[in-house]
Chain A
Amino acid sequence: MNTEVNICGVTLKNPVMTASGTFGSGREYSEFIDLNRLGAVVVKGVADKPWQGNPAPRIAEVYGGMLNSVGLQNPGADWFIENDIPFLRQFDTKIIVNVCGHSVDEYVNVVKKLRGADVDMLELNISCPNVSEGGMAFGTDPVMVEKVVSAVKREADKPLIVKLSPNVTDITLTAKAAKEGGADALSLINTLTGMKIDIYRRQPVLSRKIGGMSGPAVKPIALRMVYEVCRAVDLPVIGMGGISNAEDALEFIMAGAVGVSIGTANFVNPSATVDTIDGIEEYMRKYNVEDINDIRGIIE
């Protein structure tokens, strides 16, 4: 039985990874699970300098999901390189660095700092809805997508994944623009913009009013978008959005995703990633799937 998948020349022991921003750099979850089991750890967004993010409250629960407006709080690339890469390298898993910035220059600065760093891939975050500059502001405009991707690609010495925003009319347009810019792979979806109001306090729950929605409630939308992108663009796709278990993950794989990321489900069950890996293997044994790659994209 083979669960290995290949993304841009990088071999992952299985297709299951973590969605950026839900898993830190793995330290917290290493108390609950064996990080050696994971196909890859996609770390929380890294900027060129430390970011403080948005004021609290940053979290709101919604039906079957949650909203967040964290705003990419992170200690910066220098801290990440010094502390998190050595931590993660203790484990036999791939390291994918999510790269964020307020401007093209800031994205490029992070990628420059990461040149020669012992990581496996980069994921360009042009889809965070919780920052006023960069993030989704770049990721919803195909012209801007191509511009920032090509600027980053020129400086990158690792395969470049571009993470797409679902907050667009036609996600295949930004997917194609990312490919034109030189993306090696695509990941989707980032969160959907959403809102919650506390009717007793007559105020939005989130201090930033609008946040990004994630969790099981968004899964059908994410799956549809992964399916559309897989059919429209000839690049490896990493699927995410509400994946909580092996059944969910297998849906994304059948829709065409080469890899799958677990996000919000980590908050609901700290061992969601390894439970998903176990469940995929169980499915493969039970239904005689010799190679996980055999069922990828079987939905026409």
Chain B
Amino acid sequence: MKTVENAAVVSMLNLTDDVRDMTIHCPVIASEAKAGQFVELYPDNGVNLLARPISICAIDAENGNIRLVFRIVGKGTEIFSRLSAGDKIRVLGPCGNGFSPGEGRAVLVGGGIGVPPLLETCRQLKGEKTVVLGFRDKSDVILCDEFEALGAKVYIATDNGSLGFKGNVVELMKSENITGDMIYSCGPKIMLKFLSDYAKERGIACLVSLEERMACGIGACVGCVVKIKDGDGWTHKKVCKDGPVFDGREVIW
């Protein structure tokens, strides 16, 4: 069940130059939220009308809080970045299907601001966990130590080689021959496409969390579609309601 809450900001931290770590108090949403779901944050400035979809990085149902790690990419996220503890923000959620973390050897693959939703997923996974994170530069690296604290083996790739493997996450996985039973991933579409190919070649199941421009976040506006295989053809599925998590083999990239 989704709801709209007027959430209080509990804390606001800077993780990098343009990535913020915001915890908000929204007990109803926190009690319903699952790993890999997202919330819709409203700028509420009278000009930027549409809510911004932000993935849930961590859920603290006991205290009624959710943690949102987001990059400042436009007007909406810039407005959110100026909030501080005690401020209020209107939030709708939880939205989407989420990851449903299962058994077996898990490989979590994140690129840039696609990394945050994997943290709650990682926390809920019971078995062996391998985490592969890709960033542009070492100054963009986020949440790495938190994955390690959850007992995961963490690999880092940076585009310029300033930290860890030089290259992208898929190249890193090839070079380290990383495998498992299920891949949970979120990141740029091009990364997810090559990751799905990698998974397919090696017979690994691969879940991808997608993003798209959306207006309502609940499935009514039909704005945020992605092409998904349907028999011999394809159909438009909604990222906000049918996703954001899809089977990588089903997505037409």
Q: Is the interface of B mostly helix, strand, loop or mixed?
A: loop
Are A32 and B2 in contact, CB atoms less than 8 angstroms apart?
yes
Number of A residues, CB within 8 Å of B:
36
Assess the A61–B220 pair: CB atoms within 8 A.
Answer: no
Tell me if A58 counts as interface (CB < 8 A to partner B).
yes
- Among A44, A61, A70, which residue has the most Cβ atoms of chain B within 10 A? A61
**Smallest distance from the beta carbon of B58 to chain A beta carbons, Å?**
24
Q: Which of B3, B50, B51, B221 is close to A70, meaning CB atoms less than 8 Å apart?
A: B221
B79 → A minimal CB distance (Å): 12
* CA distance in complex: A180, B219 (Å): 38
- Bound together, the chains give a CA A275 to CA B145 distance in angstroms of 46
Is A87 located at the chain interface by the 8 A CB criterion?
A: no
Chain B residue total in the interface (Cβ 8 A): 29
Contact A70 B222 (CB under 8 A): yes
Of B81-89, B152-160, B199-207, B209-217, the one touching chain A: B209-217
- Tell me if B245 is interfacial: C-beta within 8 Å of chain A: no
Contact of A58 with B223 in the complex, beta carbons under 8 Å: yes
Expressed in whole angstroms, the minimum distance between the Cβ of B71 and any Cβ of chain A is: 15
Identify the interface centre among B212, B223, B241: most chain A CB within 10 Å of its CB: B223
Q: Is A264 an interface residue (CB 8 A)?
A: yes
- Docked-complex contact B2 and A31, CB < 8 angstroms: yes
- Report the nearest B residue to A24, measured CB to CB: B220
Contacts of B216 in A (CB 8 A): 22, 28, 266-267
- Which residue of chain A has the shortest Cβ distance to B49 in the bound complex? A268
A57 at the binding interface (Cβ < 8 Å): yes
> Given A24-B220, A64-B49, are A56 and B2 also a contact pair (CB < 8 Å)?
no
Q: Judging by beta carbons under 8 Å apart, are B42 and A268 in contact?
A: yes
Within 8 A of B (CB), among A56-80: 56-61, 63-66, 68, 70, 73
Q: Does B1 contact A (CB under 8 A)?
A: yes
Bound: A31/B3 CA distance, A? 8
A6 at the interface (CB under 8 A from B): no
Q: Chain B interface (Cβ within 8 Å of chain A)?
A: 1-4, 42, 46-51, 92, 212-216, 218-226, 235-236, 241
Interface residues of A (CB under 8 A from B): 21-24, 27-29, 31-32, 44, 52-53, 55-61, 63-66, 68, 70, 73, 205, 215-216, 264, 266-271
> What are 7 A-to-B residue pairs whose CB atoms are below 8 Å?
A52-B236, A53-B222, A56-B224, A57-B213, A205-B213, A267-B49, A269-B4
